[in-house]
Chains A and B, each alone.
Chain A
Amino acid sequence: MAKTLYDKLWENHVVRQEEDGTALIYIDRHLVHEVTSPQAFEGLKLANRKAWRIDSVVATVDHNTPTDGWAKAEGTACIDDEIARLQVDTLDSNIRANGALAYFPFKDARQGIVHVVGPEQGATLPGMTVVCGDSHTSTHGAFAALAFGIGTSEVEHVLATQTLVSKKSKSMLIRVEGALGKGVGAKDIVLAIIGKIGTAGGTGYAIEFAGSAIRGLSMEGRMTICNMAIEAGARAGMVAADDTTINYVQGRPFAPKGSDWDKAVAYWRTLHSDDGAQFDKVVELDARTIQPQVTWGTSPEMVIGINEMIPDPAKEQDPVRREGMERALAYMGLNPNTPIAGVPVDKIFIGSCTNSRIEDLRQAAAIVRGRSVAANVKLALVVPGSGLVKRQAEEEGLDKIFKAAGFEWREPGCSMCLGMNADRLSPGERCASTSNRNFEGRQGPSGRTHLVSPIMAAAAAIAGRFVDMREVL
């Protein structure tokens, strides 16, 4: 029978099938960061259990770490926030006590956002199950892997048993065909998808992204798309393996070598949905119609094209939705039936596990080159996703372009994506952000987040307001 990619990944990892439909699923790669792991390691210790296969663990710190001031003190002593420092130090002692396949501690040249670091190290491979105590683990599905976020109890469960008790999701195919317009990229595709199916549209599904527009993307672009599958409600998003995937993986530190490589590639070539495979739901988008996207509200589904008007709640029939729209507009300080283009911004954030890879920085730098950040912009941040992305960008001179324009060039980490560290919005501030969540208070209490692509964020920095960057290109 013709199988979907998801069927193949699922079936390959079933250890035991229970009668009620749940299954025991084997986990190949366990990514660990400081925020969702301390209680899991503590639970393991309290129950006197040992980690089942500690060499499945790849760990780093990202959420709490500052993105500047690294030189002012040794090690974690430069983290001013004591509670944050304790959490970073706790991961350190937990990894030192338990071990790991790889650990990139604070200030290591390879430290960074866990979803940037895993693929970059070749620790995420096609065909794997990848989990992490973080919802954006869906990112790794770009490698034809089954990757999803888990809670802390499940982190402990994976540490202790190398498995999870799970139930197979329904399958959804999202096919995006056609050529993308000028300046339109992966972020716009995924925001347009969420705008179409809604933030709960993918709940209960594993999504496979396919079609010529997806196949045409680099691995960076595919990661951007899968990263936001969770914003569409789907725990897992994935893309079939092809030459782009295999070329990206080859030669990375934890990628297979020698005869293992050939065996692995032969297997990876099977990681696609068979012709005629049946999905529970199919959604189609025409890439040619996708405009550069900007969110206007407090949920990623509240999104429009840069050339569109902010929607009017009065035209919404559903009372719960209408009230949600009214609340969002009040929170965001926006008026219905006015253009989103031209709305002034206070801060710019280029970073996060959605858009902090080298390609994102190159695209933003291409807009910024030779221009300067507008006077009304209080802060424009570029935060590379990892130490290695930072180094590569510096080798290419991107840091100089950003700095010359008035951007701050920071150390890697989650930074202003969630503002657990010092980088955040002040109340009422409006931010053009390349991150993935525009929830109330996400980037700082009463902060206003607009999700955009790196190109759109760079253009907003230069203009001091949202602009259709196709006018700048």
Chain B
Amino acid sequence: MDKFVVLDGLVAPLDRANVDTDAIIPKQFLKSIKRSGFGPNAFDEWRYMDVGQPGQDSSNRPLNPQFVLNDARFQGAQVLLTRKNFGCGSSREHAPWALLDYGFRAIIAESFADIFFNNCFKNGILPIVLPAPVVDRLFMETLATPGYRLVVDLPNQVIRKPDGEAIPFDVDVSRKECLINGWDDIGLTLRHADAIHAYEDRRRHEQPWLYNK
């Protein structure tokens, strides 16, 4: 996993609540057995005028001019600004894979769906929850200011705005550590292999039916 320390990125505003994982990456792309290559199909149904198929070259497909990410102003955005309950729906990790492959490294929203929120951390994306009035203000400023960028400083847990204002945010200590160091959390867990074995030994005795085939 790529490290996430400090990101200075262009902001793209996706002004919708309840953006679900079917919208982030439609199901036909879930047939892939790979982890990469989902970027061209992020938001496929909203982004293109035609229906995308897996394996197809998306570079010549007709773009939907109404969709905000197609706006020339937001090309190359790395920070996605959105509303409440982002990433609701299925557990598909293809959703963060698609967003990452598209170029997003941080997502700011009023709230996130739980599984999606977890999946982001596993892939080097930082999801940030901010109160609705703050998100509102960021939307206004992003729309009003061409080239609007935010600096997301994870070690200090602040977002710095172009006008110098610093917005603090919360993040779990362990998740922060993993992101900053790019750690593989399976490796971290396996340091506790003895504790897992001890737990299993106790359970085998207390609840043997869970282990008898």
CB proximity of A330 to chain B, nearest CB, Å: 13
Could you list 14 examples of A-B contacts with CB < 8 Å?
A15-B199, A20-B173, A39-B34, A42-B33, A81-B31, A83-B31, A87-B32, A135-B89, A149-B91, A154-B122, A161-B193, A200-B85, A260-B212, A299-B18
Known: A15-B192, A200-B84, A419-B27. A151 touches B91 (CB 8 A): yes
**Chain B residue nearest to A91 in the complex (CB):** B33
| Shortest beta-carbon distance from B2 to chain A in Å | 14
Q: Cβ of B209 and Cβ of A16 under 8 Å apart?
A: no
Q: How far in angstroms is the closest Cβ of chain A from B209?
A: 4
A20 in contact with B174 (CB, 8 Å): yes
Q: Indicate if the CB atoms of B27 and A162 lie closer than 8 Å.
A: no
CA distance A308 to B76 in the complex (A): 46
* Beta-carbon contacts under 8 Å, A292-324 to B: 299, 320-321, 323-324
Q: Which of A63, A87, A135 has the most CB of B within 10 A?
A: A135
The answer to whether A278 has its CB under 8 Å from any CB of chain B is no
CB contact between A15 and one of B15, B17, B196 (< 8 Å): that residue:
B196
Q: A residues within 8 A CB of B200?
A: 26, 53, 162
> How far does the Cβ of A155 sit from chain B's closest Cβ, in whole Å?
9
A49-B186 in contact (CB<8A): yes
Min CB distance, A184 to chain B, in Å?
26
CB neighbours of A163 from chain B (8 A): 189, 196
Contact present for B119 and A264 (CB under 8 Å): no
Task: Contact check, A36 vs B91: say whether CB atoms are below 8 A apart.
Answer: yes
Contacts A15-B195, A261-B209 given: A135-B186 contact, CB under 8 Å? no
Closest Cβ–Cβ distance, residue A129 to chain B (whole Å) = 10
B198 to chain A, nearest CB (A): 8
Q: How far, in angstroms, from A36 to B22 measured CA to CA in the complex?
A: 14
Q: Which of B3-11, B109-117, B159-167 contacts the other chain?
A: B109-117
Is the CB of A252 closer than 8 A to any CB of chain B? no
Which B residues are in CB contact (< 8 Å) with A38? Answer: 33
The interface residues of chain A lying within 8 Å CB-to-CB of B114 are 169, 203-204, 233-235
A165 CB within 8 Å of chain B: yes
Beyond A203-B113, A440-B45, 8 additional pairs, beta carbon < 8 A: A16-B192, A39-B35, A83-B31, A133-B91, A199-B88, A254-B213, A256-B212, A418-B22
Q: Are the C-beta atoms of B213 and A101 separated by less than 8 Å?
A: yes
C-alpha spacing A35/B112, complex, angstroms: 23
Q: Spell out B's residues near A (CB within 8 Å).
A: 15-18, 20, 22-23, 26-28, 30-35, 45, 51, 54-55, 83-85, 88-93, 96, 111-115, 118-119, 122-123, 172-174, 184-186, 189-190, 192-193, 195-196, 199-200, 203, 207-210, 212-213
Query: Considering only CB atoms, which chain B residue lies closest to A254 in the complex?
Result: B213
| Residues 215-249 (chain A) with a chain B CB within 8 angstroms | 233-235
Number of interface residues of A (CB under 8 A): 79
Tell whether A167 is near chain B: CB-to-CB under 8 Å: yes
Contact with B along A348-389 (1 / 0, CB 8 A): 000000000000000000000000000000000000000000
Q: Once the chains are docked, how many angstroms separate the CA of A81 from the CA of B173? A: 45
The answer to whether A36 and B93 have CB atoms under 8 Å apart is yes
Complex Cα gap A440–B89 (Å): 12
If A39-B33, A420-B30, A437-B22 touch, whether A24 touches B93 (CB-CB below 8 Å) is: no
Residues of chain A contacted by B85 (CB below 8 angstroms): 199-200, 203, 233
Contacts of A24 in B (CB 8 A): 189, 192, 195-196
Interface residues of A in 23-77 (CB under 8 A from B): 24, 26, 28, 35-36, 38-39, 42, 47, 49, 52-53, 55, 63-64
Q: Are B174 and A22 in contact (CB under 8 A)?
A: yes
For the complex, is A282 an interface residue (Cβ under 8 Å from B)?
Answer: no
Query: Quick one: given A20-B172, A39-B33, A321-B17, are A26 and B122 in contact (CB under 8 Å)?
Result: no
| A279, CB-defined interface residue at 8 Å | no
Q: Cβ of A84 < 8 Å from any Cβ of B? A: yes
Q: Given that A199-B18, A439-B22 are contacting pairs, would A157 and B189 also be in contact in the complex, using a CB cutoff of 8 Å?
A: yes
Q: How far is the CA of A437 from the CA of B20 in the complex (A)?
A: 10
Is there contact, CB below 8 Å, between A420 and B27?
yes
Cα A425 to Cα B190 in complex, Å, equals 46
Q: Is the CB of B20 within 8 A of A439?
A: yes
Q: Indicate if A442 sits at the interface (CB-CB under 8 A).
A: yes
Q: How far is the CA of A167 from the CA of B212 in the complex (A)?
A: 29
Closest to B210 in A: A28
Whether A439 lies near B89 (C-beta < 8 A) is yes
In the complex, chain A residues whose CB is within 8 Å of the CB of B207: 127, 263-264, 267
Are A153 and B16 in touch, CB under 8 angstroms? no
CB within 8 A of A445: which of B45, B112, B196?
B45
CB distance from B188 to the nearest CB of A (A): 8
In the complex, chain B residues whose CB is within 8 Å of the CB of A152: 35, 93
CA–CA, A156 and B196, complex, Å: 16
Minimal beta-carbon separation of B114 from chain A (angstroms): 5
